[in-house]
Structure 1
C-alpha cells in the first residue's frame, strides 16, 4: 500500500499533538521515519511472540493506530487467533480497518479508551510507544490493569521512548536522535515543531522507572529485547 509522506509539521502548529485525521493519514510514514528500526523491532516482537501463542489465543494491541502490528502478526502465523486493536482515534480505527481488509486478514479494531475498555483473558498485550502518552498519574494504574487482564503465563510487550538520569548523556542521546531524523528527511523546522507539539503530551520515563513500574504491577522475568539510543522494548511475563 502506498504511504503518504509525513509533512504534518512542515507548517506552524496551532495545537498540541493529537492523533487526528491529518496525523492518521501519514502515520505509517511518520513511524518509519521517526522511530529507529521500527520495522525490524516490530518483526522481532512478532517472531518472539509467535513462539508463545496457541490456537484461539487473544492478543490485544493498545493504541493500535493504523493496525500494523496485528496485521503483520496475522500475516506471519497460520494459527487462528483473536486479534483486537484498541484506539481512541476514529481516524486511526478507520484506516486500520481498511488496511486489514486490503491485506485480507481478520482483525477487530475497536474505538475505545483502553483505560476503561475490558480486555481481560488476553494471552498477550502489546503497547508500542503508547504508554508514554498516558498521564503519569494514570500510568501505573494502566500497567496494573494490563497485568490483571493477562491469563497466567501471559505476555506484555511494551516499547517506549526513554530519558536518562545522566543529564549530559540525555542531551547526547536527544541530539543523536535529532541527527537520525534529519537523515530520514525531516527539516530542523519540522523537528522543532514536533518537539513543541509533543511538549507535556509525550512524557518518557527512565529505563529503571519503566522496569520498576512493571515489577510493581506484578510482572516477572522482565527483559529488554531491543534498544537503540533512547528507544527500548520490554517483554514481561505474568507468572
Structure 2
C-alpha cells in the first residue's frame, strides 16, 4: 500500500500503529534514502561473519524484511529472531515469513527485556533513535556484553550535524529527496511535527562514542547519505 498517513492533519505523535504498519514498507523505501542499498550492505557484511546455526537478532524488526533477505541470500541456516513492540508490525512480519518460507522467531517485547543469548549478529535499523539517550546507551552496553567473541552489531540511524549551517543543509537536502519521492510539503511538515521529541538523533561522533564506551573494539561507517548512516561495530 502507498504511504498516505500524513496527507491529513496529525492529532498525535508518531507511533508504529496499524495505520503506519499497513504502509510501512512503502514508507521506508520512500522516506529513507538508499534504504535497499543499506540493507544490501548490512546483509553482505553480516555474511562475512556468520557461520551455520549462528544466532541473529533484529531489533525493531518491523515487517522482518531484513531477516527475510538475510535468509534468502545465504545457504547457511541461522537462528533468526525478530523483536518489535508493535503487534501490527509483527502481524505483517508473520505473513511475510510464511509467504517467503522463512523461519523467524518473532517476539513482541521491549528490547530492554531480551537477554540476547548466543548472539553473533545484532541488527538495528533506525531503531535506537527512538530510544531515550540514557536507555539507548544501556541497551548498547547490554548488546555488547551478550555478543559472542567476534560478534558484530550493525545499526543504521538518522544523524545530525554538529555544525548548524551543515545541519540546515542536511534538512534541506532531505526535504528535496522526499519531494522527489512524491511527498507534498504538507506531508513532510506533518511527519516532522509528529516525530518531534519522538525521534532523537545523534551525530556520527556521538554514535561512535556510544559504541566504544560500551566496550566495542571498533566502529566504522559502512554507508552514509547526508543525514542517514549505517555503522558496523565489532567485539574482539
Q: TM-score range by the shorter chain?
A: over 0.9
Hey, what does 2:73 align to over in structure 1? 76
* 2:118 is aligned with 1:121: yes
Distance 2:45 2:235 in 1: 16
Pairs aligned (count): 236
Match of 1:38 in 2: 35
Instruction: Determine which of 126, 136, 141 is the counterpart of 2:138.
Output: 141
Cα distance between partner residues in 1 of 2:177 and 2:220: 26
Q: CA deviation at 1:139?
A: 1.1
Structure 2 unmatched ranges of 5 or more = none
2:8 pairs, out of 11, 14, 18, with 11
CA deviation vs aligned residue, 1:117-148 (integer Å, no higher than 9, x gap): 22121000000000000011211101101101
TM-score between the two structures when normalised by the length of structure 2? 0.99
1:87 partnered with 2:75: no
Q: 2:23 is paired with a residue of what secondary structure? A: helix
* Superposed counterparts of 1:76-225, under 5 Å: 76-225=73-222
**Is the CA contact (8 Å cut-off) linking 2:212 and 2:218 kept in structure 1?**
no
Q: How far apart are the structure 2 equivalents of 1:83 and 1:75? A: 12
Asked if structure 1 preserves the Cα contact closer than 8 Å seen for 2:150 and 2:234, the reply is yes
Once residues 26 and 148 of structure 1 are traced to their aligned partners in structure 2, the CA distance between those partners, rounded to angstroms, is 35
Structure 1 window deviating more from structure 2 (193-202 vs 98-107): it is: 98-107
The answer for unaligned runs of 5 or more in structure 1 is: none
DSSP 3-state at the match of 1:233: strand
The Cα of 1:40 is off from its aligned counterpart by 1.0
* Normalised TM-score (structure 1): 0.98
* Deviation for aligned residue 1:162: 0.5
In structure 2, the residue corresponding to 1:227 is in which secondary structure?
Answer: strand
Runs (4 or more) in structure 1 with deviation over 2 Å come to none
SS of the aligned residue for 2:12 comes to: coil
1:5-63 superposed Cα distances (whole Å, 9 cap, x missing partner): 00000001110000000000000000000000000110111011111110000000000
SS at match of 2:13: coil
CA RMSD of aligned residues (A): 0.6
Q: Quick one: distance in 1 between partners of 2:146 and 2:87?
A: 24
